[in-house]
Amino acid sequence: MKPFILPIHRLEQYSLRFPQEVLFLTVEDRGERDEILVFKGFSSSLINFTDSDPDIPILPETAVILSIDRLFSPYNPNSPNYLEKGLTWERMLERLNDFNL
């Protein structure tokens, strides 16, 4: 049996495998919304504090991923270039499993 890996760590691994992509996550944790960018193995919040220690996950186990957008890198918030928009966690999970991530 595979050890449990936090969803954010799986997304970071995906972003390492596909460095031409940026993942834009809309998440919610305990009633608080956040927006997170995942790029080349790192995650950063666009709304909340991002800890400088990369070993501290930006997304706790209690968080719910509401949607995921796949964008071409580099990310430009004024003119985003979408590959896919509004993916559910379940759909992205299928993709992660397909790539054994």
Mean pLDDT of 41-54: 89
Residue 22 lies in domain: 7-96
**Domain membership flag for residue 39:** yes
Between 79 and 53, whose confidence is greater? 79
Q: Is residue 82 part of a domain?
A: yes
* Domain membership flag for residue 23: yes
Q: Does the pLDDT at position 11 exceed 80?
A: yes
Predicted confidence at residue 3, as pLDDT, reads 53
Query: Residue 2 falls within a domain, yes or no?
Result: no
Domain assignment of residue 101, yes or no: no
Asked if residue 34 belongs to a domain, the reply is yes
Residue type, 96: L
Check pLDDT > 90 for residue 82: yes
Q: Which of 75, 71, 70, 73 is nearest to 95 (CA)?
A: 70
How many helices and strands in the chain, by DSSP H and E? 2, 5
- Cβ(44)–Cβ(11) below 8 Å: no
State the pLDDT confidence band at 61, using cuts at 50, 70 and 90.
Answer: confident
Q: Domains in the chain: how many in total?
A: 1
Let me know if residue 27 belongs to a domain.
Answer: yes
Residue 47: which region, alpha, beta or left (left: phi > 0; alpha: psi -120 to 50)? alpha
Position 4 scores a pLDDT of: 64
